[in-house]
Amino acid sequence: MSDTSVLTRAEAVERHRLLDVRTVRLDLDLTRGPEVFGSTTVIRFGCTTPGAGTYVDVKPAALRRVVLNGRELDVAALRAGRFPLTGLAADNELTVEADMAYSHTGEGMHRFTDPADGEDYVYTQSFLDDGPRVFASFDQPDLKARYTVSVTAPRQWTVVGNGVGRQVTPGRWEFAPTPAISSYLVSVVAGPLHSVRAEHDGIPLGLHCRRSLAAHLDADAPELLEVTRQGFDHYHRVFRHRYPFDSYDQCFVPEFNAGAMENPGCVTLRDEFVFRSAVDDTRREERALVVVHEMAHMWFGDLVTMKWWDDLWLNESFAEYMAYSVTASSTRFTSAWTGFAANRKTWGYDADQRPSTHPVAPGTVDDTAQALQNFDGISYAKGAAALRQLVAWLGEEAFLAGVNDYFDEHAFGNATLDDLLRALAATSGRDVHGWADRWLRTTGVDTLRLADGRIEHTSADGGPRPHQLTVGHYRRTAEGALELADRVPLDLAADSTAAVKTDAELTLLNDTDLSFVKIRLDPGSWRTVRSSLGAVPEELARAVLWSAARDQVRDGELAPGEYLELVAAHLPGETSVHLVDAVLSFARDFVVDCAVPPTARPGALAVLNEVCRTLLRRTEDETDHTGLRLVAARGVIGTAAGEAQAAELRDWLAAGTVPGGPVLDPDLRWQLLLRLCVLGAAGEPEIAAELAADPSDTSEKGAARCRAALPDPGAKEAAWQALFHGELSNYLAAATARGLWQPEQAELLDGLTARYFEELGSAAARRGPALARVLATTGFPAFAATERTVRAAEACLADPELTAATRRGLVDQLDTLRRAVRARARAEQ
Ligand SMILES: [Zn+2]
């Protein structure tokens, strides 16, 4: 928020030099009504330079009392989230009492009232610098302390915290002291929770959610607990250090901004992972990945924590790499790497080709506001892919040996990238620092282009990276199918060009997706792809090919129409849900909605509709409706157009099912109603009836999205006022933003595009970073892919007052917009 300071790296270094934080006692009072809660913090800390001064971070609604070593201090001294402390002793005790405000943006202590039953729930999100909105602290990752937390809550509530908790008297909860942890990891979750408890290998396990989701959590608990157990077993097999905390609670919380947060012993996850509606296996796999990702953080991030936010990537890249590796090898989701190739990596590729890209390991991150912007596709997807390269090069044994030495040396402390590189160099005997200079200190995606039997290796920043990869050669069988003839490992040094035989029907570089690289095929192989992509025998290789087609569209090298021809020819026969899901998403979101010229859009949409109908027919005999059939049904609904198809959707809604299944559950009902609203075939009466039938948060979001999507000036204005001038929670804002812009309504929305760029800056600044991201990304008029929108976005970016989160969101959306404009121009040629 604009009224608080950001912590600079220089300030953190100075405060770390000065202070030795030992223990923190935190007492919260959650019984003071819906606006504020009580927060009392007692910090015991040493000071290396008695007489010196510093400040404590605190962002209260009202500061009540500050006492330093028995001295009452004037609370009026608080400035921009910092309270100055002077005349420190060698040993100090600081008490801070404050009223803190609940938030509705997922930052600090979020409060949520469940529309299903009127029950209230609260949870903290202390990351990255929002801890002081809950309790006073020296808020930087390298001032770890032991936290002892107690909470007063309404009597019927359950409270979960980092340590094992118990209710000592009705409504009064006390938690076991934590080991030394960073302030951004302190967590409290409270409300009339529904809990499932279990145990594994001596570790108490808990799953928690709000009461209205109880039946759904109970149904999913066996799978969640199984993945958790498999994760613990895997990590205990590969890490020498046992799980370092006393219990493992996973709390599914409402309106959570990220996927999850790795608070030691009290992980918070978005409660959309407690499935109220049918989901395909890619969503279950995603949830398993998140579960084991957070578990990896218990060691990498929580036991050993980065010294400063410049090594945030190290947390995320490591957890992300481990998540895919553990999920693929130790859970039932054995094709997790296909999801990485088809979906997750595109996040990293896109991010790495934007003006906002940065090295995986940035040289310097000057302050916390900048650090928050690096929480992106580079830190997660590219970083994980880079670590995968490192493991391929060092071997898993040497990699894990180095990681274990790193844990031993820095347990319950802090470390830097260099500490890890030294450990890995020692166990592997390789020049790991040299590798890091090439992969982690540079930006941009390399391209490997196969031409005339040689690999042409280019790099966006002029410094190509070394690649460990494989080359697959595919041949025709007598029956006309494709089969793998051979697969050759290739160690592509940074500055060499390699000879590759190209006499096969299809020669595919990086066919096992080991590296992070764009590939371009030789002309003969590309002809094979056009005729036979669907016949390539391995799904990972098909994922690499779809990804290559995708970035050729984004790079303006493949016309949108040609991409849709590939989709029409090869998706109806596809068996991988990962691929169908990823290809349909890109085909719809970028190709049809942005890159295809408006006059050609109805035809393009009809192509997708027909592909999905074919998939629906192909899966008619399946009894399980949660795989391809579910994706196909969603596709048919989302691409419906014209009166006949609208009438068909109305019939489905009345019948409560897609003919032959799936049955319409809440998600499908709202998706269907949304499409009818966009087409002008349903309106407020239908929305109100649906909301009355299921008064849940799913319905509140569904209704907000539907209302914003109505093709009516009054509805658009109401959505606009709510989004830019109201106080919507983070999730309702996102739902409204998703409904607002509909390519079908281009004429109606014309005036709003200009207004968006006029009002974005002030609205985003008023609501803070989380809402700024919603407004600048989800709220961006991506469908309006014209030069006029490009110029309006550029003019908006020229405003020096834009906050960091707004600027970053806008820069990234503008990059995608420019690519769409270019693709449109190509299509119009
Ligand atoms: Zn993470």
Q: What proportion of the chain, given as a percentage, has pLDDT over 70? A: 99
With cut-offs at 50, 70 and 90, classify the pLDDT of residue 791: very high
Residue 463's pLDDT is what? 79
pTM of the model: 0.97
Long-range contacts of 720-724 (CB under 8 A, 24+ apart): 720/752, 720/755, 723/763, 723/775, 723/779, 724/759, 724/760, 724/763, 724/775
544 neighbors 511 (Cβ within 8 angstroms): yes
CA of residue 436 to ligand 1 center, whole Å: 21
Q: Which of 414-428, 446-460, 679-693 has the lowest mean pLDDT?
A: 446-460
Bridge-based pairing state of the strands 304-306 and 413-415: parallel
Beta bridge partners of 473: 486, 507
Residue 3's pLDDT is what? 62
150 neighbors 29 (Cβ within 8 angstroms): no
- What is the rounded CA–CA span in Å between residue 496 and residue 455? 9
Q: What proportion of the chain, given as a percentage, has pLDDT over 90? A: 93
CA of residue 316 to ligand 1 center, whole Å: 5
With cut-offs at 50, 70 and 90, classify the pLDDT of residue 147: very high
CA of residue 512 to ligand 1 center, whole Å: 25
Strand, helix or coil for residue 491: strand
**Is 686's pLDDT higher than 50?**
yes
With cut-offs at 50, 70 and 90, classify the pLDDT of residue 480: confident
**Is 708's pLDDT higher than 90?**
yes
CA of residue 772 to ligand 1 center, whole Å: 21
**Is 379's pLDDT higher than 60?**
yes
Non-local (6+) Cβ contacts of 675 within 8 A are 637, 638, 640, 649
Q: What is the mean pLDDT of residues 707-730?
A: 97
Token pair in block for residue 542: 């098909």
Residues belonging to the active site: 294
- What is the rounded CA–CA span in Å between residue 811 and residue 773? 12
With cut-offs at 50, 70 and 90, classify the pLDDT of residue 1: very low
Residue 386's pLDDT is what? 97
CA of residue 561 to ligand 1 center, whole Å: 38
Q: How many CA atoms lie within 13 A of 234 on its CB side?
A: 21
- What is the rounded CA–CA span in Å between residue 568 and residue 584? 11
Type and span of the H or E element at 83: strand 82-85
Q: Which residue has the tokens 């894990």?
A: 400
**Is 498's pLDDT higher than 80?**
no
- What is the rounded CA–CA span in Å between residue 680 and residue 647? 12
With cut-offs at 50, 70 and 90, classify the pLDDT of residue 626: confident
Q: What is the mean pLDDT of residues 456-477?
A: 91
CA of residue 361 to ligand 1 center, whole Å: 16
Q: Of the spans 360-364, 625-629, 716-720, which averages the highest pLDDT?
A: 716-720
613 neighbors 636 (Cβ within 8 angstroms): yes
Residue 2's pLDDT is what? 41
As a whole number, the mean pLDDT across the chain is 96
Token pair in block for residue 687: 């929305």
Q: What is the mean pLDDT of residues 649-677?
A: 97
Token pair in block for residue 95: 């008490």
Residue 827's pLDDT is what? 84
Strands (DSSP E) contained in 408-477 are 413-415, 446-451, 454-459, 467-476
Q: Which of 817, 727, 752, 768 is nearest to 3 (CA)?
A: 768
With cut-offs at 50, 70 and 90, classify the pLDDT of residue 101: very high
> Hey, CA dihedral for 50, 55, 57, 62, is it positive or negative?
positive
With cut-offs at 50, 70 and 90, classify the pLDDT of residue 262: very high
288 neighbors 333 (Cβ within 8 angstroms): yes
Residue 828's pLDDT is what? 82
**Is 317's pLDDT higher than 70?**
yes
**Is 533's pLDDT higher than 90?**
yes
CA of residue 390 to ligand 1 center, whole Å: 19
CA of residue 307 to ligand 1 center, whole Å: 16
Strands (DSSP E) contained in 375-445 are 413-415
Alpha helices in 32-183 (DSSP H): none
Quote the Cα angle for 254-257-260, to 5°.
80
Is it true that the peptide bond before 560 is cis, omega within 30 degrees of 0? no
Bridge-based pairing state of the strands 188-191 and 36-47: unpaired
**Is 155's pLDDT higher than 90?**
yes
Q: Summarize pLDDT for 419-438 with one digit per residue, the tens.
A: 999 999 999 999 999 999 99
Token pair in block for residue 786: 């014209």
**Is 494's pLDDT higher than 80?**
no
Token pair in block for residue 392: 């391929």
Chain Cα centroid distance, residue 634? 22
393 neighbors 493 (Cβ within 8 angstroms): no
CA of residue 288 to ligand 1 center, whole Å: 13
Residue 275's pLDDT is what? 97
With cut-offs at 50, 70 and 90, classify the pLDDT of residue 502: confident
Alpha helices in 281-352 (DSSP H): 281-299, 312-330, 336-339, 345-352
CA of residue 57 to ligand 1 center, whole Å: 24
CA of residue 297 to ligand 1 center, whole Å: 7
Quote the Cα angle for 796-800-803, to 5°.
85
Q: Summarize pLDDT for 60-86 with one digit per residue, the tens.
A: 999 999 999 999 999 999 999 999 999
352 neighbors 808 (Cβ within 8 angstroms): no
Q: What is the mean pLDDT of residues 617-623?
A: 92
CA of residue 769 to ligand 1 center, whole Å: 19
- What is the rounded CA–CA span in Å between residue 804 and residue 266? 30
CA of residue 294 to ligand 1 center, whole Å: 6
394 neighbors 444 (Cβ within 8 angstroms): no
CA of residue 408 to ligand 1 center, whole Å: 21
Residue 109's pLDDT is what? 98
CA of residue 429 to ligand 1 center, whole Å: 29
- What is the rounded CA–CA span in Å between residue 64 and residue 61? 10
